[in-house]
Amino acid sequence: MKLSREKAASELFAALYPRLAGWCRRLVDDDGTAHEIASEAFTRLWARWTSVEEPRGFLYVTAANLVRDHWRKMERERRAMHRVTSEAAARPHPEQADPSVRLLVQSLPERLRVPILLHYYADMPIREVSALTGRKEGTVKADLHAARELLRVHLRRSLDHTP
For 4-21, the pLDDT digits (tens) are 878 888 899 999 999 999
Separation of alpha carbons 51 and 48, rounded Å: 6
Separation of alpha carbons 5 and 122, rounded Å: 27
Taking a C-beta distance cutoff of 8 angstroms, is the pair 45, 55 a contact? yes
Whole-model pTM: value is 0.58
pLDDT score recorded for residue 117: 85
Average pLDDT over every residue of 29-55: 93
Separation of alpha carbons 163 and 156, rounded Å: 13
Separation of alpha carbons 56 and 65, rounded Å: 14
For 61-101, the pLDDT digits (tens) are 999 999 999 998 888 777 766 665 554 444 444 444 455 77
For 90-138, the pLDDT digits (tens) are 444 444 445 577 778 888 888 888 888 888 888 888 998 888 888 999 9
Using 50, 70 and 90 to split pLDDT, how confident is the model at 163?
A: low
Instruction: Calculate helix-pair angle for 55-85, 2-28, nearest 10 degrees.
Output: 40
pLDDT score recorded for residue 86: 59
